[in-house]
Amino acid sequence: MTPPACAMRHPWRRSGSIARGGTVLGIALGAPGQVWLATTAGLWQGDVGHWWSLGVARQLRASALALAGGLLIAGDAWGGIRFSGDNGRTWHTALVDETTSAVTCFGVSPDFARDRVLLAGTADAGILRSNDGGRRWQLANVGLADFTLLALAVAPIWSPREVVFAATDEAVYRSPNGGRAWKRADRGLEGVGVQTLAISPLFAADATVYAGSERHGVYRSVDGGDSWQPLAAAASFPAINSLCCFLRDGDAVPTLIAGTADGTLIRSTDRGESWRVVAADGWPILALDSRAGRIYAGLDDGGLLFSDDAGLSWQLDDQLVARDITRLAVCEGSPLLAFGPAGGAWRADGTYSWRALAALDDLGTLFALTCSQQIGWLAAADAGLFRSIDAGASWQLSLEPIDSRISVIATSVAWPAELWAGAADGTIWRSEDAGRQWRRLTTAADGQPLVAIAVARWPIDGCVMVAASFDPLDQRVTIWRSMDSGAQWESWLTDNTNWPRVSICLGRDADDHTWVSLGARLWLWDSAQWQSFELDGTPVIALLRIPGATTSVAATAEGVYAMVDRQPWQVIEGAPSGLIDIAITPDGAEGSTIVGLELGGVVWEWPLGSVRTIA
């Protein structure tokens, strides 16, 4: 049952987006107006100028997409294949035999309505084949000697043979029987790293296939893959990441578009004998597809380009906001920060005008970002835990655990020069000198990644630490507590959930209320026992306590809730659904503002003083 509502004196205000664009990994085209994009921020649907997130698929990070007979097929970047029969609103997990390798590309039978055949290339397990419309997949590696798939290209007509081409790390293969078995077809491509393939729409008549390479431009085969020749006019271009070949009404020769690693789009209307640069926007081209006269180009970081004149001119779709920005961070005296695993880190300057913290770009995946008045800014990334004392302009390595990585960071106003860091192997580290030296504490959860840490000073007990670990195999979160600064740990609370995001709000002392969010539940420790509450049945994405006030705020996938003066939780009317994080600006208890982050990087704000309880 949804809690009662809180009235508002002011509406939520959309403050704009952190940065437009995003990384588009795959494109699936349906009827006009039905386009799906696989991005690092999840799946998006719509068409040029109007996009919306498929919220129910928020946890699906698709690395490849295909549309077959009204069925949307997605390859999960973490392994597995999912399918949807209702335009992506709900998803089902396919049964994949013998592998959990990530899918890199798809191929769809031209006779899919009849034979239900689909192919999928994987990162390290070879080729999967389905003959039941994507419900079940089996390995189809007969004849393959290399199992890292980069591209698949399916002949537009399977008559008299069911011809499919596959590019791997080491060779190009051809199948004459719909992907059941493979044979090398790369004479003339020896030593050439092929990254993408495109097959002529007139293949039954011209037997032409194109291959884009890492260092040698574009190659062409006019004998169905028996032999390949380099196209001299394309040899000087950088790595060819993507190819698209299509036939316009009235044309006798297909048009060929190639996208390069340096963001150049080139076009040929004479089967690759000559090329013309038609766009050079600087963002690497990751995906190309065409339908009904419109061509789409998915970019690395830049979003989406489109052309409505067969590739002669291109425009940037500035309405796509699909960046992998998932968290907010705020500290008194510092600007509001936003970051994500693959979306980089950003700081708000002025009234939500954002600029990138470019110095963090080379550190790999970003797991945590926080700031402290005494210590500076802190970032946990693939390369270790880093500290900045110049507001993010430069970063210095502070901690680099052996055989693990830092996943969470904690600070405390009670110990302004101290830091705590939790690692993916369950270890916890503490620094008492602003990150210059570290000592390893007793492990709370051996071998389980830590997903949250909170530290407080309780008048009688001293340094109290609480940590949360997530067991991905058993789908369980455990809350651990230490009453002696991390020397000993006890299991305090356990709950089954597949949602690894945990918030911990420690009370001011042992008798004060402590709140923890686990999955769809809020747990309250009242100094004697735990009680659980459920807001709306969806996962809690953030739980905050307002400094100096008696108000707490929680956000779920469906709404935002407030608890004032320990009264029951109440829904805040008019709050945007689909928020993925919230933060409180440090303007004081009465003047505080809730800042909400929407998937892709859209920011909302609402003055906390607007809330009043409905009797």
Element (H, E) at 204: helix 203-206
Strand partners, 245: 256
Rounded to a whole number, what is the distance in angstroms from the first to the last CA of the chain? Answer: 18
Return d(Cα 332, Cα 313) in angstroms, integer.
48
Percentage of residues of the chain with pLDDT beyond 70:
95
pLDDT for the residue 613: 46
Tens digits of per-residue pLDDT, 42-66?
999 999 999 999 875 556 788 999 9
Return d(Cα 299, Cα 49) in angstroms, integer.
16
Q: Quick check: 421 pLDDT over 70?
A: yes
Tens digits of per-residue pLDDT, 95-119?
998 899 999 999 999 999 999 999 9
Q: Quick check: 8 pLDDT over 60?
A: no
CA distances from 70 to 29, 42, 113, 149, 174 (A): 10, 20, 10, 25, 27
pLDDT for the residue 513: 86
pLDDT for the residue 612: 52
Q: Quick check: 183 pLDDT over 70?
A: yes
Q: In terms of pLDDT, which residue wins out, 553 or 585?
A: 553
pLDDT for the residue 615: 36
Average pLDDT of the residues of the chain: 92
pLDDT for the residue 601: 94
Strand ranges across the sheet with 406-410:
406-410, 419-423, 428-431, 439-440
pLDDT for the residue 462: 86
Tens digits of per-residue pLDDT, 283-295?
999 999 998 889 9
pLDDT for the residue 271: 97
Element (H, E) at 112: helix 112-115
At 614, is the pLDDT very low, low, confident or very high (cuts 50, 70, 90)? very low
Residue 365: name the closest of 412, 405, 305, 396 by CA.
Answer: 405
Tens digits of per-residue pLDDT, 392-415?
999 999 999 988 999 999 999 889
At 586, is the pLDDT very low, low, confident or very high (cuts 50, 70, 90)? low
Structure tokens at 285: 């081209």
Tens digits of per-residue pLDDT, 198-223?
999 999 999 999 999 999 999 999 99
pLDDT for the residue 611: 56
Return d(Cα 280, Cα 301) in angstroms, integer.
15
User: What's the CA angle centered on 47, arms 314 and 113, to 5 degrees?
Assistant: 110
pLDDT for the residue 273: 98
Three-state DSSP at 609 gives helix
Percentage of residues of the chain with pLDDT beyond 90:
77
Rounded (10°) CA dihedral 565, 568, 574, 576? 100
Tens digits of per-residue pLDDT, 338-380?
999 999 999 998 766 899 999 999 899 999 999 888 899 999 9
Buried b (16+ CB within 10 A) or exposed e, 378-403: bbbbebbbbbbeeebeebeebbebee
Q: Tell me if 149 sits within 8 A of 121, measured CB to CB.
A: yes
Tens digits of per-residue pLDDT, 489-514?
999 999 999 899 999 999 888 778 89
